[in-house]
Amino acid sequence: MTSTDIPLVRVLEADGTYAPSPAADEYLPLIDALSDAELEQFYRDMVVIRAIDTQATNLQRQGQLALWPPSRGQEAAQVGSAHAARRQDTIFPSYREHAVTRIRGVDPVDIIKLMRGVSHGGWDPSDPKNGNTRIYTLVLGSQTLHATGFGMGLVFDGKTATGDPERDEAVVVYYGDGASSQGDVHEAMVFAASYDAPVLFFLQNNHWAISVPVETQSKVPLAGRSAGYGIPTVRVDGNDVLASYAVSRSLLDQSRAGLGPRAIEAVTYRMGAHTTSDDPTKYRGSDEEQSWAQRDPIARMRAFLENRGAAASLFTDVETEAADAAEDLRARTLLLQAPTHDHMFQHVYSDPHPLMDEQRAWLANYEASFEGEA
């Protein structure tokens, strides 16, 4: 099996031309139903999150963050799939889904808190403003197990496949090509398929697992891994926001209808480093990066909108909004304060616990023992 054996769903060519691939035909009605405002919002979200991502990378370089995983180049896969999910769906990100989390309602500064080391999780998943978005998972691939378990719970509790699309729930879990080699991911797929859990496994194949190329990880397209467990899988051009949206929307509808798990391989590219602790020049060449830069998802969508007659003011407004969002992120990051020591004891148990009281008192006495020392 090669990549040519699995059809790729693409709607927009790299230059923004509307030229659906044969595999995209069944999804075109979903794209045709999009309004101009929705199409423009896709573009707006991609531009703004790239500005935020760039600002966060700069903040890390300036010593304000311990780490930052850039998402540059993967905006289309994330924005399209995030808009495809319904409000009642639950999202399980990995650690690079900055666009997804923002669209669902998470404040980007909450991600900054995590990467700065002033928060254990970043945000409260149970707070409605965060759009049923679980916290970032740094343990590679483990979020797929969490998502599958949650999806199985939806089946057991009768919260899916009732025939009411406004109430039926589904789950989207994001992971990368590197995580697809983890045992947790495969175990999650086994259970999701066995229990018809309404889970969309969204694989962002950005071609590099830190420094390991995807060709080394797998001799067949990664879409074949989920398909091997009996999960219907679609391969999508991950730099085409329209393809990402339409396929995600269709597969999520199928999962909510009780048809079981679905999977997407979004073929994209990580334009930056794996994280800010990584130097991609050590393991890949500039020719590869330049080739993928010509398929930039933002430039592609802008060309498409311009061809449709979008006003020049749209792009000016979006650039202004993006710059303002980046500056706001920087300003609020610099105001963040370290949490008090007491904070680490507050959420270990759901109810007050004597062991926490004991440890809190021990720490207070220990620190007090240094008072008065020269």
pLDDT digits 0-9 by tens, 195-209? 999 999 999 999 999
Res 48 pLDDT > 70: yes
- Record the tokens describing residue 359, joined without a space: 């440890």
Q: Active-site residue among 104, 207, 274, 295?
A: 274
Q: What is the pLDDT of residue 374?
A: 52
Q: Active-site residue among 283, 347, 349, 353?
A: 283
226-250: average pLDDT: 98
Note whether 89 and 171 are within 8 A (CB).
Answer: yes
Q: Which DSSP category does 176 fall into?
A: E
Residue 274 is among the residues annotated as catalytic for this protein: yes
Q: What is the pLDDT of residue 344?
A: 86
Per the confidence metrics, is the pTM higher than 0.85?
yes
Q: Active-site residue among 50, 98, 134, 270?
A: 270
99-115: average pLDDT: 98
How do residues 324-356 score in pLDDT, each as one tens digit?
999 999 999 999 999 888 888 888 898 999 999
Q: What is the pLDDT of residue 233?
A: 98
Lowest mean pLDDT among 1-10, 56-65, 328-337: 1-10
Q: How many CB atoms lie within 10 A of CB 5?
A: 10
Q: What is the pLDDT of residue 371?
A: 84
Report the percent of the chain where pLDDT is more than 70: 98
CA–CA separation, 60 vs 109, rounded Å? 13
How do residues 168-179 score in pLDDT, each as one tens digit?
999 999 999 999
| Sole residue written with tokens 């004597």 | 354
User: Coil, strand or helix: which one is 369?
Assistant: coil
